[in-house]
Structure 1
Amino acid sequence: MSDNSTYATSADVSADNSANHSQKSGFRRVLGLGSLLAVAVGLVVSQGVMVIMLQGAGIAGLGFIIPLAIGYILALTYIFSFSELSLMIPRAGSLSSYTEVALGHFPAILAVFSGYVVVAMFALSAELLLVDFIIEKIYPGAFPQYAVGFGLLGIFTALNLMGIDLFAKLQSALAFIMVVVLLVLGLSAVSGVANPYPEGIDLTGTWNPMGPEVITLVALAIWGYVGAEFVCPLVEEVKDPNRNIPRSMLLGVTIIFVTIAIYCFGALLYIPADDLAGSALPHYDFAKAVFGDIGLSFLAVAAVTATCSTVNTSLAAIPRMLYGMAQNGQAFPQLKKLTKNKTPWVAVLFVSAITGLPMLIMRDNPDAVGLLLISAAIAWLLAYIITHINVIALRRRYPNIHRPYKTPFYPLPQVVGIAGMIYAVIYASPAPELSNQIFTATGIVLAVVSVIGVFWVKVVMKKDLFKPEPIEKALDAE
């Protein structure tokens, strides 16, 4: 059968599927643009990002705006690809659903587990460890060791089990508070309305001390934009997805770009660049320099809110990816079990458990946070590369299928995105001496995921590793 025979003249097929698939799956369309924008912003702006962006500003000074802007452009490329794919194949499985019809089941399993499940193990664990470190530094001895991190994980696991409506309300509030706090901190620093500027800081003399080499910090800056696509696994619960999915991601990364730029500029006015670059908790130093001791309570709000927002979003989106994979036969069938309020409860508990595991193993090693974050980012970017390849493959296999959203200037965003992501992976570590450790850890995890994926596809599913499924299967699946 020709790949395009069924769809060459059926412009309304995927549009109809977008409207009725949520009825088949049992999900309810309750999420509007505001809720999706809160997801796009709330997952990206984490404590890890707050730390890494200030370290980048310390390395490059005002010149950091160059890699920050290039990172924004690369973020737009993955938004274009995810928007096209998620509206063409509106499934909760997200990347697994797109990849199985573009490249086959093995790449689908590899993409989701390496790019999202492993990221949950690394990045969420690092985020929860960071909030413990910062609260202990601000309020020493106020809480038992690691009680804050594990407590937040338990609270948001329970809240996500209660349903998507509560998630949406919480996420909107968390994202709003977080962005406001960061903007207040940045704008207060830029305007100088709080503590006076310290003497001896000159940003105009050498605004870009790295010169052309500042381009190497694109690999660091891109970490500030990963995660906006977490709106896509929620597609079956979105009102007017054709409009709200792409718009929420585009607005989200734009807000992030402006917020991070102001935040970094303000920090450079108060903290010497070398101190920012070398600090393990530069956001702590920044808040204290601008507002004094009262700024530490301000920072505590920002830190806890950022962590809550990241954990809340991940516990909503990643379980729905696993639910979609279980629907496709790519994961254990138990992961598609739903509660009465349509929450994939087994998947939520699974993601919560794998998030807590590295915290138990690495909690006495603060230096592990950076390793966890960079390893997570490498895995994430590999998933983005697969996403861009999916768009190209499906454009070739199904050129005439209805696409509610088409990537502008195709295939330029995909080509630029793939090249940029490969560059970012190669130069992932800002410290060359850590490169071997980072790539070894990431390689081991990817190797384990690959072995499991091969076994699952060949033995459990009894399918070819790289044989794409017909798109009818993805669009019509119950």
Structure 2
Amino acid sequence: MSGSPKHELKKVLGVSFGVAVMIGGTIGAGILRTPGTIALMLDNYWLIVLCWLFGGVYVLMGVSSFSEMATIMPKAGGPYNYVMRAFGTYCGFLTGWLDYLINAIGPAYFCIVISEYVVILFPAWAGYETLVAVGFLLVFTAFHLVGVQGGSIAQQIMSLAKVIFFVVLIAACFFVKVDHISFGQPLPVLKGGLLIGMLKSMQLIVGAYDGWWSACFFAEEDKDPEKNLPRSLFMGAVTVILIYVIFNIALFYVVPLDSISTSTLVASDAAKVVFGSGGATFVVVLAIASLVSILNAYMMIPARILFGLSRDGFFVRQGMQVNKGGTPTVALLSSAALALGLILVGSFEALFSLSAFISLIVLGFAFGALIKLRRVEPNLPRPYRAWGYPWTSALVLLVTIGLFVGFAISDPYNFVLILIIVALSYPAYRLLIRKA
């Protein structure tokens, strides 16, 4: 049954899509909004840049590990496949649904935020934000129902446009004539307050980098996953890291640190310095371009996770249905229905605040799966091997655990919510297995 064309995804994607979906699924409103909050907590130029670089190194080590796992098991749904093979069905079930949760709330959130920015451009639409958000969701759902090829082309175009917008803003910051800012301020003394500030900053930075493994969700649709996936992951990661780090440096070049720390949208402040009165409009257009690109990616990702979960018996069998265009229709419509409900009810906000937290659980299990499979299945064909193993894989796992513990200390409310979710997952798993 699962081998019939109705239950098979089309192998039509390549490196360009992998890079585009990684850029599209990562660069969003986070990088535009977080610099001000981070500057308020750390208040030191070098420390802030160092934290963004640390996040980038963490991503690169993660990319290496995911490249090995994704080429061993190029299956729809990404990380949970690796976890299930290494640690069994329950861990796979838990990882898959947690991964689905943090990705499925994305379309609702991005549609809402897009509608808010659209209203800034068109003030006459004020009061109709929910309708605008629902309209974006319905349009993108209909677009992706047609087939995966159109979504792939759109993702590449929108991701390229997003990169161009960021490059223009960054270049303009360095060409504008401003008084050079001194970066020689002393590092603050490490103490409890600063450590908490660093942990909270890293939570924001990890959240801004979230999505760097997006290409893995589409491994089953790649024409040559053994070669394409590592290239897509590394090229996408390097692009995102360069944009994030240089963007922060550019902001510091034109906006004083004191002003950055009191700004809710420092990118707009920088654009006003560079482009004058039209700067605010430029940033709104940049934000919309970023969000539309990330929305397109997140319309595709949850459906792939749900398709994989359905095939493994963790969702209804109808979730495996694929149309002639290669779209898992029931999985897409189910995810769109969830997003629609979240837009109308607005209850997704609390869930979205958990995303960076929960993603560490998914990543921790995935990194652990690499180490476990290296030990128990040493002869497994590995088209790509993680560089620096076992040191880099052990280090990225330890860093993930350390970040999770740090987040638990600095954000106990969400930590308790995660414990409740995990506790409820096992009875749900047993019930599902019994019915199956």
TM-score by length of 1: 0.81
Measured in 1, the distance between the counterparts of 2:360 and 2:130 equals 30
Q: State the secondary structure of the residue aligned to 2:403.
A: helix
Aligned residue identity for 2:432: W
User: Aligned match of 1:90 in 53, 74, 95?
Assistant: 74
Q: Displacement of 1:266 after TM fit?
A: 1.8
User: Aligned match of 2:26 in 44, 47, 67?
Assistant: 44
Measured in 2, the distance between the counterparts of 1:408 and 1:358 equals 41
1:42-61 C-alpha deviation (Å, 9 max, x unpaired): 10001123312453255442
1:229-281 C-alpha deviation (Å, 9 max, x unpaired): 22112112212211110111111111111111221122223333344334333
Q: State the secondary structure of the residue aligned to 1:292.
A: helix
Structure 1 residue aligned with 2:253? 269
Structure 1 residue aligned with 2:48? 64
Measured in 1, the distance between the counterparts of 2:189 and 2:335 equals 41
Q: Is the 8 A contact 1:152 1:308 kept in 2?
A: no
More divergent stretch after superposition (322-331 vs 206-215): 206-215
What are the equivalent positions in structure 2 for 1:6-405 lying under 5 Å apart?
26-57=8-39, 59=42, 60-115=44-99, 117-143=100-126, 144-192=128-176, 196-197=177-178, 202-206=181-185, 208-209=187-188, 213=194, 216=199, 217-362=201-346, 372-405=351-384
Q: State the secondary structure of the residue aligned to 1:141.
A: helix
Measured in 1, the distance between the counterparts of 2:175 and 2:293 equals 28
After superposition, the CA RMSD in angstroms is 2.7
Q: Aligned in 2, Cα 1:293/1:264: closer, same or farther, shift over 3 Å?
A: same
Aligned residue identity for 2:218: L
Measured in 1, the distance between the counterparts of 2:414 and 2:56 equals 24
1:331-359 C-alpha deviation (Å, 9 max, x unpaired): 21111111122210111112222223333
Structure 1 residue aligned with 2:385? 406
Q: Displacement of 1:189 after TM fit?
A: 1.0
Q: Is the 8 A contact 2:52 2:205 kept in 1?
A: yes
Q: Is the 8 A contact 1:48 1:126 kept in 2?
A: no
Q: State the secondary structure of the residue aligned to 1:401.
A: coil
Measured in 2, the distance between the counterparts of 1:32 and 1:289 equals 40
Q: Is the 8 A contact 1:388 1:414 kept in 2?
A: yes
Q: Displacement of 1:138 after TM fit?
A: 4.8
Measured in 2, the distance between the counterparts of 1:209 and 1:124 equals 40
Measured in 2, the distance between the counterparts of 1:443 and 1:341 equals 40
Structure 2 residue aligned with 1:474? none
Aligned residue identity for 1:455: L
Q: Aligned in 2, Cα 1:355/1:440: closer, same or farther, shift over 3 Å?
A: farther
1:455 maps onto 2:428 in alignment: no
1:114-170 C-alpha deviation (Å, 9 max, x unpaired): 12x211344443333333333334543335223333222222111111111101110
| Higher share in helix | 2
Task: Give the percent of matched residue pairs that are identical in Structure 1 and Structure 2.
Answer: 23
Q: State the secondary structure of the residue aligned to 2:407.
A: coil
Measured in 1, the distance between the counterparts of 2:148 and 2:107 equals 20
Q: Displacement of 1:399 after TM fit?
A: 0.7
Aligned residue identity for 1:439: F
1:438 maps onto 2:409 in alignment: no
Q: State the secondary structure of the residue aligned to 1:342.
A: coil
Measured in 2, the distance between the counterparts of 1:275 and 1:210 equals 22
Q: Aligned in 2, Cα 1:171/1:72: closer, same or farther, shift over 3 Å?
A: same
More divergent stretch after superposition (440-449 vs 176-185): 440-449
1:94-132 C-alpha deviation (Å, 9 max, x unpaired): 2232222211111111112112x2113444433333333
Q: State the secondary structure of the residue aligned to 1:30.
A: coil
1:27-46 C-alpha deviation (Å, 9 max, x unpaired): 33221211111011110001
1:202-233 C-alpha deviation (Å, 9 max, x unpaired): 33231755769575443332223221222112
Measured in 2, the distance between the counterparts of 1:266 and 1:57 equals 14
Q: Is the 8 A contact 1:288 1:294 kept in 2?
A: yes
Aligned residue identity for 1:127: F
Q: Aligned in 2, Cα 1:104/1:126: closer, same or farther, shift over 3 Å?
A: same
Aligned residue identity for 1:252: G
Aligned residue identity for 2:242: V
Measured in 2, the distance between the counterparts of 1:255 and 1:77 equals 15
Measured in 1, the distance between the counterparts of 2:408 and 2:264 equals 15
TM-score by length of 2: 0.88
Q: Is the 8 A contact 2:7 2:321 kept in 1?
A: no
Q: Displacement of 1:307 after TM fit?
A: 1.3
Q: Is the 8 A contact 2:75 2:217 kept in 1?
A: yes
Aligned residue identity for 2:149: D
Could you tell me which runs of 5 or more consecutive residues in structure 1 were left unpaired when the two chains were aligned. 1-20, 462-478
Aligned residue identity for 1:423: G
More divergent stretch after superposition (447-456 vs 89-98): 447-456
Aligned residue identity for 2:69: L
Q: State the secondary structure of the residue aligned to 2:111.
A: helix
Q: Is the 8 A contact 2:155 2:296 kept in 1?
A: yes
Q: Displacement of 1:450 after TM fit?
A: 4.2
Aligned residue identity for 1:381: L
What is the total number of aligned residue pairs between the two structures? 426
Q: State the secondary structure of the residue aligned to 1:205.
A: coil
